[in-house]
Structure 1
Amino acid sequence: MAISGTDPSSVRVDSWTWAVRLFKTRSAAAAACRSGHVRVNGSTAKPAQPVKTGDEVRIRAAGVERIVEVIRPITKRVGAVVAVECYTDNTPPPPPREVLASIPQRDRGAGRPTKRERRDMDRLRGL
């Protein structure tokens, strides 16, 4: 399926990530690039960095890293069905719930750990 006028050889990374619906807005995509949450082929990307077919884009958002490979560079935002055809998602599956449940977490609002608690945590981690 050809999309008229939206299949150049390379496009801006912020525009492409927005066009394939990895970010809700283009300004959010640009902000993520400026913050260092977007990497293209292993290096931190500025919003205007070009991406082309075959590039690997890593996006860290909401504590999850997504790894996608560019199949088709597009500039205009498209529907979700067409957007999925423009990249290959190589993101590893999330860890099982049992592993996540075994990781200790502090109660919300418990404040900063005390010195004794920090030493206990370091001892647990083997530091």
Structure 2
Amino acid sequence: MRLDKFLKVSRLIKRRTVAKEVAEKGRIEVNGVVAKPGTNVKVGDELKIRFGQKTVIAKIEHLGENARKEVAAEMYSIVSEERNHDQA
């Protein structure tokens, strides 16, 4: 599944266009490698997403073409979440 689609379906990022923009700016890594919006992701991959002042590391638990809001959070598990204090 494409990275931008996974981010939208899992609701890690609410809109696919936003997910695409974040990836194009180099703020998403898949298994330690900077990823593009079309990067293929699979179960077990680790995503590192930098949102402004916050960095989230999530592990993909399962994939699905679409998911209800209640099920979306089960598509990933949060490994760590931290604030970036070094940015002004």
SS at match of 1:90: strand
* 2:79 corresponds to: 90
Residue 12 of structure 1: CA displacement? 0.3
Whose Rg is larger?
1
TM-score by length of 1: 0.62
Displacement of 1:63 after TM fit?
1.4
Separation of aligned partners in 2, 1:93 and 1:30? 22
Percentage of pairs with the same residue: 31
Structure 1's unaligned 5+ residue stretches are: 1-10, 95-99, 106-127
Runs of 4+ that moved beyond 2 A: none
TM-score with structure 2 length normalisation?
0.87
Higher strand share: 2
* Residues in 2 aligned to 1:51 and 1:12: alpha-carbon distance in whole angstroms: 6
Cα root mean square deviation, aligned: 2.1
Query: Could you tell me which residue of structure 1 aligns to residue 15 of structure 2?
Result: 25
The one of the two structures with greater contact order (alpha-carbon pairs below 8 A, sep at least 6) is: 2
Instruction: Count residues with an aligned counterpart.
Output: 87
1:81 paired to 2:70: yes
Shift of 1:38: 0.7
